[in-house]
Structure 1
Amino acid sequence: MTSCTPADGPPDLLFLLSWASHALQTEHAAGLAELGISPRAHYVLAQSRTGDLTQRQIGERCGVDKTTMVVTLDQLERAGLAERRPVPTDRRARLVVVTPAGEQVLLRAQQVVQRIQEDVLATLPEQDREVFLRALVTLVTGPLANSSPYAPGSRSGC
């Protein structure tokens, strides 16, 4: 790894988090590609699992704009992994339902993600793993909660 940390100063948090995020996203995308899905498709499937959320609600949860959500759902439907069904009380809205084939892919995707996470965390001493995760959760639910591109209403994300 290269370092943008000043020789006489503390580690650069932005650089370190960006590096870690990029590396983890790359591994995540590669692992899911073996299943024929993207990270975004994985997140949409995971949010759709209950079958009681609309396309719009899932998009908001994932921080995905309407156009990207439509494209993602079109891909999932073509692959036979999800279906859009009319909402009984609002014919303009569509519920997203994971198909049995989608459930199988989702299960395998969650195993891939779990394996990657375990591999990454295994590089830390065992006593530091929970502390590290708790600290990250504190950061993203605290000071970084509203500035994240993954925050509700943002345009990028999943």
Structure 2
Amino acid sequence: MTAMAPDRTEPDLSFLLDRTSHALRSRMAAALAEIGLTARMHCVLVHALEEERTQIQLAEIGDMDKTTMVVTVDALEQAGLAERRPSATDRRARIIAVTEEGARIAALSQEIVDRVHREALEALPDDERTVFLRAMNRLVNGHLSAPVESPQAVRRARQQG
């Protein structure tokens, strides 16, 4: 005798968010790959341009572990887009400085990121888009603003940026 699956009483929000997030990340990766960047490289470049930031600060913004951050900055350095420099305000700290070419590529990558997001949202009618964005922001800043402790490791989501 085969057991019956329990009836679902709510929409599978986890599936919906995971599926759309994965599809969006894959579109973003493909679009940024056209200019030789990854989403992490883009994140580091744009946030390093905002203000003087250390590698640790940028890793926190991009929700990257230390190893991933080192690999990302190494790739940016090898491409001539960023470099590690002593901080102007704290000689003990090293910051990630974006080169002139890195700033040019960051502007281009931001156009790509904006285009991918715009195309995704254009799949919705204007009135639904407004409601969707309002609801997502409400979840991100409210009920789902922070993960909870769990006995099993859960893969971390990338931070905004």
TM-score by length of 2: 0.82
Identity rate, percent: 47
The one-character-per-residue Cα deviations of 1:41-75 (angstroms, maximum 9, x if unpaired) are: 11111110134111111111111122211111111
Alpha-carbon offset, residue 111 of structure 1: 1.1
**Do 2:48 and 2:96's aligned partners in 1 also have CA atoms closer than 8 Å?**
yes
Tell me by how many angstroms 1:146 deviates: 1.3
- Which structure has the greater CA radius of gyration? 2
What is the rounded CA distance, in whole Å, between the counterparts of 1:99 and 1:15 in structure 2? 40
User: Structure 2, unaligned stretches of length 5 or more?
Assistant: 1-5, 149-154
- 1:1-158 maps to which residues of 2 (within 5 A)? 9-147=9-147, 157=158
Read off the aligned partner of 1:26 and give its amino acid letter. Answer: S
Q: Please say which of residues 13-22 and 54-63 is displaced more in the overlay.
A: 54-63
Shift of 1:15: 0.6
10-19 or 86-95, larger mean C-alpha shift: 86-95
Runs of 4+ in structure 1 off by over 2 angstroms are: 6-11, 88-92, 154-158
Query: What's the C-alpha RMSD, in Å, of the aligned pairs?
Result: 2.2
Cα distance, 1:7 vs. partner? 8.0
Deviates more, 1:105-114 or 1:24-33: 105-114
Q: 1:117 Cα deviation (Å)?
A: 1.2
> Quick one: distance in 1 between partners of 2:41 and 2:83?
13
Residues 82 and 96, structure 2, Cα contact 8 Å, conserved in 1: yes
Cα distance in 2 between the residues matched to 1:124 and 1:7: 29
**Secondary structure of 1:97's aligned partner:** strand
1:3: which partner in 2?
none
Q: Deviations over 1:78-110 (max 9, x none)?
A: 101111111245444211111111111111111
Q: TM-score, structure 1 length as denominator?
A: 0.84
Ranges in structure 1 where 5+ consecutive residues have no aligned partner: 1-5, 149-153
Deviation at 1:144, TM superposition (A): 1.5
Q: Give secondary structure in 2 for the equivalent of 1:49.
A: helix
